Each structure stands twice: as C-alpha cells, then as structure tokens.
C-alpha cells in the first residue's frame, strides 16, 4: 500500500446528531439519482436542528462551506442543493448532497474499530489511485474519507461540527 495518508471526515460526536431529526422526501431516500437538483428537507415536529458541517444519516449532507472547499479543489464532483427548513426556529440551513465516488469495503468482518469508531478498513487500493475524497459503504452507514491534502484544507477552515481523524486503509482482496 502506498504511504498516502487518509482521514475520516465525520460529524463531531460531542454535538447532537441531526439526521434523526429530519424528514427526508422519499425520492431522496431512493438515492442520489432520484432526487431533484434542489430539495427541501424539514425538521420533524418537536425537534430542533443544530447547524453543523455534516449530517451523516440517513443521507450524507455537507454544509455549503464544506462543499465550497471541496469543490474548489475538486470541481468535478457533482452535487445537489438541499435546504433544511426548521419551521419551529424559523430557520433555513443550506447543505449539499455531493455525489462522492464509492470505494467498496472488501472485508467488513475484518474492519477494526475502537469505541465505535472505525480505525481500519480493507479496500481495493487500486481504486484509490486518483481519488482524493470518497465514501466507503460500511453496513448501514457511509464513511467519508479524504486524502491528507483535502483534510488539511478543511481543517484550515475550522468548520463547525466537523471531526477529522486518521484512518488506515489496508489492501483487501477482491472476492
């Protein structure tokens, strides 16, 4: 495996997870290709939204600031605009649903975790050659991973609610 360093980009666990507070349109839940170029998502009644750089579940949404930083370095990643409406707070929060490339996890049973955080994933390292930021489907979630240069540019922005930590990507065998 190359000496390239990779980092997980995730929602800061010290903050409330927002995804469970949101009601997504059914077409969005069917997948990126089924959604329109701009979507509106509402908070569920009785729930408040705390704005952060990432909403991870059930759909990975990134803040406009995070999207702009990634797009500046990688302009070819397509995205759709998502407005999250919090009617109780009378607020709007702007996110992007970016169509990050997927790299498969080749051995989910060999994934190493510590305190619920993934430390090592087995992937096809050939698929990583040109990819600067990507998602790895892992059971019912997606792990967003970036090369060191992308992670550093995001850290310089001090994006609220974004946690950046190292991950090991290990060569897996295709089955």
For 43-63, how does the pLDDT look when each residue is reduced to its tens digit (9 = 90+)?
Answer: 998 887 777 899 888 899 999
pTM of this prediction?
Answer: 0.86
Q: Does pLDDT of 4 surpass 80?
A: no
Dump pLDDT digits (tens) for 86-99. 888 888 999 999 99
pLDDT value of position 1: 42
Q: Which residues have C-beta within 8 Å of that of residue 101, sequence separation ≥ 6?
A: 131, 134, 135
Contact 37, 80 (CB under 8 A): yes
From the centroid of its chain, how far is CA 126? 22
Residue 121 lies in a domain: yes
Residue 94 lies in a domain: yes
pLDDT value of position 3: 59
Residue 131 lies in a domain: yes
Once rounded to an integer, what is the mean pLDDT over residues 120-143?
A: 82
Rg (CA), the chain: 16
Count structural domains, the chain. 1
Greater model confidence, 44 or 138:
44
Residue 1 lies in a domain: no
Axis-axis angle for helices 148-157, 64-73 (nearest 10): 140
Once rounded to an integer, what is the mean pLDDT over residues 17-30?
A: 88
Residue 67 lies in a domain: yes
- Average pLDDT of every residue of the chain: 87
Per-residue confidence band for 18, with pLDDT thresholds at 50, 70 and 90? confident
Domain of 105? 6-171
pLDDT value of position 76: 94
Dump pLDDT digits (tens) for 140-167. 677 899 999 999 999 999 898 899 999 9
pLDDT value of position 2: 47
Q: Does pLDDT of 174 surpass 60?
A: no
Residue 141 lies in a domain: yes
Q: Please report, for residues 54, 56, 73, 80, 89, the alpha-carbon distance to residue 160 in angstroms, rounded to integers and kept in the order given.
A: 9, 14, 20, 21, 19
Residue 70 lies in a domain: yes
pLDDT value of position 142: 79
Which percentage of the chain shows pLDDT scores above 90? 51
Contact 43, 88 (CB under 8 A): yes
pLDDT value of position 64: 94
């Amino acid at each position: 495996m190359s000496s390239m360093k990779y980092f997980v980009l995730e929602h800061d666990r010290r903050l409330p997870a927002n995804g469970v507070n949101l009601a997504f349109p059914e077409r969005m839940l069917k997948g990126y290709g089924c959604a329109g170029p701009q979507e509106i998502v509402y908070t569920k009644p009785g729930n408040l939204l705390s704005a952060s750089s990432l909403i991870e579940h059930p759909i990975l949404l990134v803040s406009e600031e995070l999207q702009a930083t990634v797009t500046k370095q990688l302009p070819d990643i397509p995205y759709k605009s998502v407005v999250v409406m919090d009617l109780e707070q009378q607020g709007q929060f702007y996110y992007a649903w970016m169509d990050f490339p997927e790299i498969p996890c080749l051995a989910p049973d060999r994934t190493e975790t510590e305190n619920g955080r993934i430390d090592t994933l087995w992937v096809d390292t050939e698929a990583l050659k040109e990819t600067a930021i990507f998602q790895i489907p892992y059971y019912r979630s997606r792990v967003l991973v970036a090369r060191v240069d992308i992670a550093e540019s995001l850290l310089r922005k001090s994006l609220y609610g974004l946690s950046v930590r190292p991950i090991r990507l290990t060569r897996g065998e295709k089955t």
